[in-house]
Amino acid sequence: MGEVVKRAYKYRFYPSPEQAEQLSRTFGCVRLVYNRALEARTRAWAVDRQRITYVQTSAWLTEWKRTEGLAFLNEVSSVPLQQALRHLQAGFAAFWDKRARYPRFKSKRKSRVSAEYTRSAFRWRDGQLTLAKMDTPLSIVWSRPLPEAAQPSTVTVSRDSAGRWFVSILVETTIERLPATEFAVGVDAGVTSLVTLSTGEKIANPRHERIDRGKLAKAQRALARKQNGSANRTKARLKVARIHARIVDRRRDHLHKLSTRLVRKNQTVVIEDLSVRNMVRNHSLARAIYDAAWAELRSMLEYKAAWYGRTVIAVDRWLPSSKTCSACGRINTTLTLSVRAWTCPGCDAVHDRDVNAARNILAAGLAER
């Protein structure tokens, strides 16, 4: 039995010079509207303790468009500007509910540039996508087909720091549940091995960042020597961004393949509820932990499990999974981090540290069901 879900399909596209100019102008207007609204809402709270609503910020946008200094806002589609205000409202709602930090201003250089178009601001006809204020459809590389008879509800256009253009198309589709299986697996995250499974299998850590570390360091040194504001500095910055993008792409591809395999094969996947933010305070391991991207792997496991009718269980991070004998349950309090294999003093069982931890994680997760 299938489940109807909203799913985004991301594609690369190549805009014409006119489209690139229009989208760049839209990105700038989105950032300006978001920042002006954030500044005004912050001032209203600091001075009058007044909580501003989305409706009020939308009225502000109408007034801004009528002023001489901001008349250029009328040159782009109004929908991405309204969507920016909705995202700001969602950010404040998350802050008030203590689910997120206070909304921050968008930076011209550091923030991801994007614009979101709802159904009224684009045309989808015969498999071609045309955005508002444009005469020609986008030249999209269809790396995989959209679901049959899919009708996009939202389109998000973005440009990454490497200068690549992407379009994310949100559609409603039916995902078929996978047949139920009796298999369950415990997953122990690590650095040397990306994950160790309770089955005894170890998935090697590709260390994508380490592979390109030499190229990245060389490109960053070249960037540091370039004069601020020069064309050569722009070229050098783009080269650094492309190396970073290649690292991210390889890492994400590997995590997708791993998470899909685990979800397809197992009915239940048990993981640790790790606090990556606290773990990276160990500066000697921070780079390796970021490169492993455990949080991204967990996110993939959770949403894919929801799609395919599987279960992901996160056990307490303080569980002594490495020090507990998976055979008899005795805790070896003398075990240090440097010991990778040990013998249980209670039952003489010989353990690989990571495999033993994965088995304990699995047992703890199954006990919680």
Name the catalytic one among 188, 209, 291, 302. Answer: 188
In a domain, 131, yes or no: yes
Name the catalytic one among 116, 209, 272, 291. Answer: 272
In a domain, 155, yes or no: yes
Distance CA 67, CA 46 (A): 25
In a domain, 21, yes or no: yes
CA-nearest of 287, 297, 325, 311 to 189 is 297
Name the catalytic one among 116, 209, 302, 354. Answer: 354
pTM: 0.88
At 287, the amino acid letter reads R
Range of the domain at 31: 2-176
Distance CA 111, CA 48 (A): 30
Our answer to whether residue 188 is catalytic in this structure is: yes
In a domain, 105, yes or no: yes
Spatial contact of 186 and 270, defined as CB atoms under 8 Å apart: yes
Distance CA 369, CA 364 (A): 9
CA 332 centroid distance within chain: 38
In a domain, 323, yes or no: no
From first to last of its 369 residues, what are the pLDDT tens digits of the chain? 677 889 999 999 999 999 999 999 999 999 999 999 999 999 998 988 888 999 999 999 999 999 999 999 999 999 999 999 999 999 999 999 999 999 999 998 776 799 999 999 999 999 999 999 999 999 999 999 999 888 999 999 999 999 999 999 999 999 999 999 999 999 999 988 999 999 999 999 998 988 899 999 999 999 999 999 999 999 999 999 999 999 999 999 999 999 999 999 999 999 999 887 778 777 777 888 888 899 999 999 999 999 999 999 999 989 999 999 999 999 998 888 889 999 998 899 999 999 999 999 999 999 987
Distance CA 5, CA 281 (A): 38
Number of domains in the chain: 1
In a domain, 7, yes or no: yes
Our answer to whether residue 135 is catalytic in this structure is: no
Our answer to whether residue 272 is catalytic in this structure is: yes
Distance CA 333, CA 346 (A): 12
Alpha-carbon dihedral of residues 128, 131, 136, 141, nearest 10 degrees?
-50
In a domain, 265, yes or no: no
